[in-house]
Amino acid sequence: MYWRQTLIAIRSIAVLSLLTGLVYPLAIAGLGRVLFPRQSDGSLIRRHGKVVGSALIGQPFASPRYFWGRPSATTPPYNAASSAGSNLGPTNPELIKAVRSRVRALQKADPGPYSPVPVDLVTASGSGLDPEISPAAARYQAARVASARGLRIGEVMAAIDRRTRGRLLGVLGEPGVNVLELNLDLDRLNPKGTR
């Protein structure tokens, strides 16, 4: 009787392992490929047939011609293999020092009448890989980008407006602007970078 129950338990484990460990994941992955092909492929963004990034993972931009995303807490920056926040609390001296340094760098890069620097331009996110910034963060950088590209500020603001994603169902989350997609739009608008 003991061996019979043991055999039943072993068979049950084998069948359930096969179903939940192989059949179910393959079925869901296949269904996802059919129903959501772009998302199941990583929401990759291509330009001229070449993958330039993902709509889901931020990447660094340093040139004044481009909008800059949120700072990344990963090492090296924007490393998807080590997604993590800094875990520094709001009163931590290291965080305060880093934020002050980022504010000074942004004010130096975007000279002119200083408006408050949007918080998402000076603090890293929980993942360290945010692909989006707030519309306020995009507008804060618009004059620098327009000047570096030789564009009118209105053209850059229109590109920001086109790339601003609203709240999900009108109430969930906050509006955002995908930095990579916005920069690619500007490259299409002004490929050489200046007029």
124 Cβ contact list (under 8 Å, min separation 6): 70, 71, 72, 73, 85, 86
Torsion of CA 31, 32, 35, 39, to 10 degrees: -170
> Nearest 5°: phi and psi at 51?
-70, 125
* pTM beyond cutoff 0.95: no
83 Cβ contact list (under 8 Å, min separation 6): 74, 127, 128, 129
Q: How many CB atoms lie within 10 A of CB 172?
A: 7
Interval 48-67: pLDDT, tens? 889 888 888 888 898 999 99
Q: What is the residue-wise DSSP string for 11-66?
A: HHHHHHHHIIIIIHHHHHHHHHHHH-HHHHTT-EEEETTEEEEETTB-----STTS
**Domain extents in the chain:** 1-41, 44-189
Interval 131-183: pLDDT, tens? 999 999 999 999 999 999 999 999 999 999 999 999 888 889 899 999 999 99
Place 81 in a pLDDT band, splitting at 50, 70 and 90: confident
Residue with tokens 């504010």: 103
Report whether pLDDT(195) > 70: no
Residue with tokens 């608008």: 189
The confidence score (pLDDT) of residue 193 equals 58
The confidence score (pLDDT) of residue 113 equals 65
Report whether pLDDT(93) > 70: yes
Dihedral sign for Cα atoms in the order 47, 147, 116, 93: positive
How far from the centroid of its chain's Cα atoms is residue 88's Cα?
21
The confidence score (pLDDT) of residue 77 equals 80
Interval 103-130: pLDDT, tens? 998 888 876 667 888 999 999 887 878 8
Higher pLDDT, 77 or 52: 52
The confidence score (pLDDT) of residue 10 equals 94
